[in-house]
Amino acid sequence: MKTSRELAIQCFKDEAEAVMGLTDQLDENFDEAVRLMYDCKGKVIVTGVGKSGHIGAKIAATLSSTGTPSFFINPLDVFHGDLGVMTPDDVVLAISNSGQTDELLRFIPMVLHMQIPIIGMSGNPESLLAKYSTCHLYVGVRKEACPLNLAPTSSTMAQLAMGDALAVALIEKRHFQPRDFAQFHPGGELGKRLLTTAQDVMRSDDMPILPPEMHLGEAIILVSKGKLGLGIAEVDGKIVGLITDGDIRRAMEKWQAEFFDRTVSDIMTRTPKTVKPETKITEIQRIMNKYKVHSVLVTDQEQHLLGVVDHYSCMI
């Protein structure tokens, strides 16, 4: 008898095989499905019964969150008033492993009567669902991962993967960007990162401001008190340079006994990286990674200092 871990590994292999098998099953129907969904002026209505219904709900959620208005409807509910949500501008994505599910097939004539395009997804290209679909996505699998070859496992994994493939193709076709994704996920961690600006997280009080002529012995104290690992050199309220604790350590190694005779202007970076208050955190992280810096200065149009955003501020 196989151990639990051995059974898990076999399950992974069976489901991976099912998904990879879809590669050879893709044809012009997939292109047509993407076109129908892209050109849809209304909503993509996803439907299915049982396990296929659960998969359909997930596919609808993925489509909606990536720029394709979509929702899931149980075909049973259509017979009790929910048909009213459908319009001729919509597209239906109907999912059934057998393609012969009775509840789903009773729903199809209503859709055809309204002249709504149907994208069928099933494991049976000869099914009634396939026959009456505008285009049919074949998601047949050799066997289920279930040891009894009964419980929907590999088949639902194939459906899920095909749904994701549709969503990915539409993301590219719509030129969907991270900022678009954030608009649909304002409450999530990713949404916060994509929508949060420098002004939202910058530190603006007790800035470690240094005159360029200050000796480094004094500058060390102010940089330490600032707890940002840096000091900002200003003249007449305008930024002229930046020093970091790393700059100070390197200066001590270089000049040793002469270190205390040196000034901020001797070691400061005269072109520190600056951003505007409205700059997104994701862009600030890109700047930090590109230039290997741990902080950026937030400035107004006249290059007056407004605040500092460091690496830790971006970890929201």
Same domain, 222 and 292: yes
Task: Tell me, yes or no, whether 182 lies in a domain.
Answer: no
pTM score, whole prediction: 0.62
Q: What is the pLDDT of residue 284?
A: 92
- 269: domain range? 198-314
Task: Tell me, yes or no, whether 69 lies in a domain.
Answer: yes
Task: Tell me, yes or no, whether 187 lies in a domain.
Answer: no
Task: Tell me, yes or no, whether 192 lies in a domain.
Answer: no
- Looking at the chain, the whole-number percentage of residues with pLDDT higher than 90 is 66
Same domain, 18 and 90: yes
Task: Tell me, yes or no, whether 147 lies in a domain.
Answer: yes
Same domain, 163 and 262: no
Count of domains forming the chain: 2
Taken in order 242, 245, 247, 252, is the CA torsion positive or negative? Answer: positive
Q: Tell me which of 75-79, 197-201, 224-228 is least confident.
A: 75-79
Range among 54-63, 69-78, 169-178 with highest mean pLDDT value: 54-63
Range among 123-127, 146-150, 227-231 with highest mean pLDDT value: 123-127
Contacts of 8 (CB under 8 A, 6+ apart): none
Same domain, 256 and 286: yes
Q: What is the pLDDT of residue 316?
A: 59
Tokens representing 172? 């590219």
**Per-residue pLDDT at 14 exceeds 70:** yes
Q: With bands split at pLDDT 50, 70 and 90, how would you rate the model's confidence at 196?
A: confident
Same domain, 19 and 132: yes
Task: Tell me, yes or no, whether 185 lies in a domain.
Answer: no
Strand order in the sheet with 135-138: 70-73, 44-48, 91-95, 118-122, 135-138
User: Residue 59 maps to which CATH number?
Assistant: 3.40.50.10490
Same domain, 82 and 214: no
Same domain, 9 and 114: yes
> Which of 234, 259, 232 shows the shortest CA–CA distance to 248?
259
Same domain, 100 and 152: yes
Task: Tell me, yes or no, whether 279 lies in a domain.
Answer: yes
